[in-house]
Each structure stands twice: as C-alpha cells, then as structure tokens.
C-alpha cells in the first residue's frame, strides 16, 4: 500500500494529525465556488468573513460553530420561483454550505446581514505565553523509588516525603 507524502511526516512534528485532516477538509471545501466570499483583516485581532447571499433572508441562513469549524448554511424556506418563468437566470439561490476551519485562538464575535451580504466577525484571542520547566532526574532517583512530578515535588511510594 502506498502512503502519500505529507508536510507533517517530519519526526519533529508530533501529534499534528488533526491539522493534516483539517488541511485536507479545507482543500476539498475550497474547490466549491458558491457562494462567493471575502475574508478581510479589519485590525490586528479582527477578521471579517463576508458572504454574498443575495436572494436569501435571515431566516434562510444559519451560522454555527461546530467544534473548530464555522459552518454557514443557506436554504430557501419558500421557493417563490416555482411559478416564475425565467428567460435568463444568473442569480443563484440554491442551497449551500460553506465551512471555515478556525484555529483554537479564534472566536466568533457575531454575524449581521446588510444589503445581501452576510458578515461574520471573528476575533483572535492573544494567549499568554507560558513556560513550564521540566525537572531532570538521574537513574539514582529512580532506584530510590521516587517519582518526580512536573511540579518538582518528590513523591515516595504513594505518599509525600517529609
């Protein structure tokens, strides 16, 4: 069985399988061109996704956060076009689903409809930098039956040493 080569095959990138799957999902989703959308950087931490949803009402649209995916769906509730005869139909109003994979430091602030455009505002949360020091032990510590936890406390066989 042949295995495809991945950017994440490096031995220095451990535990990044979910990112690889997310990139595969994003590649598949990007091939769909309807409805058109823009992604804007509004500030240092603000991002706006704008989707052209002409012909859809607010009741026809849903914006949901499913784990780390922002999923926007559109489905017309009532189809008034059944009785109309079009000589040319260039404005698409078919149902759609558009998904955007968000990193863990992105939160959805809100969504608003304006002149046939759906705006979804996002904000990047700036995390605090944390440093964790791992204590280095020797084989001599292991022979004494001590277990070292990451807080640096020495523990005996089930009880703390005094």
DSSP string for the chain: ------GGGSTT--S-HHHHHHHHHHHHHTT---S-EEEEE-SSSEEEEEEE-TT--GGGEEEEEETTEEEEEE--SS-GGGG---S---S----EEEEEE--TTEEEEEEEEETTEEEEEEEE--PPP---PPPP--HHHHHTT-EE-TT--EE-SSSB--
d(CA 106, CA 124): 4
pLDDT band at 140, cuts 50/70/90?
confident
Mean pLDDT (whole number) for 28-40: 79
Dihedrals phi, psi of 144, to nearest 5 degrees: -80, -5
- Give the pLDDT of residue 159: 47
Read off the pLDDT of each residue in 31-36 and give the average, rounded to a whole number: 77
Domain ranges in the chain?
Answer: 34-124, 133-162
Q: Phi, psi at residue 34, to the nearest 5°?
A: -120, 135
Tell whether pTM > 0.75.
Answer: no
Higher pLDDT, 16 or 132: 132
> CATH 2.60.40.790: does it fit domain 34-124?
yes
Rounded-to-integer distance, Cα 117 and Cα 67, Å: 25
């Amino acid at each position: 069985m042949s295995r495809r080569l991945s950017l994440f095959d490096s031995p220095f990138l451990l535990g990044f399988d979910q990112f690889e799957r997310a990139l595969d999902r994003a590649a598949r989703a990007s091939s769909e061109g309807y409805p058109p959308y823009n992604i804007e950087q509004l500030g240092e931490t603000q991002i706006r996704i704008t989707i052209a949803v002409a012909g859809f009402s607010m009741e026809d649209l849903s914006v949901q956060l499913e784990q780390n995916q922002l999923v926007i769906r559109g489905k017309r509730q009532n189809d008034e076009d059944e009785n109309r005869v079009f000589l040319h139909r260039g404005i698409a109003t078919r149902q759609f689903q558009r998904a955007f994979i968000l990193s863990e430091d992105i939160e959805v602030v809100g969504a608003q409809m304006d002149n046939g455009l759906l705006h979804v505002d996002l904000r990047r949360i700036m995390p605090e930098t944390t440093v964790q020091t791992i204590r280095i032990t020797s084989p001599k510590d292991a022979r004494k039956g001590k277990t070292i936890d990451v807080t640096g406390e020495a523990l005996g066989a089930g009880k703390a040493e005094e």
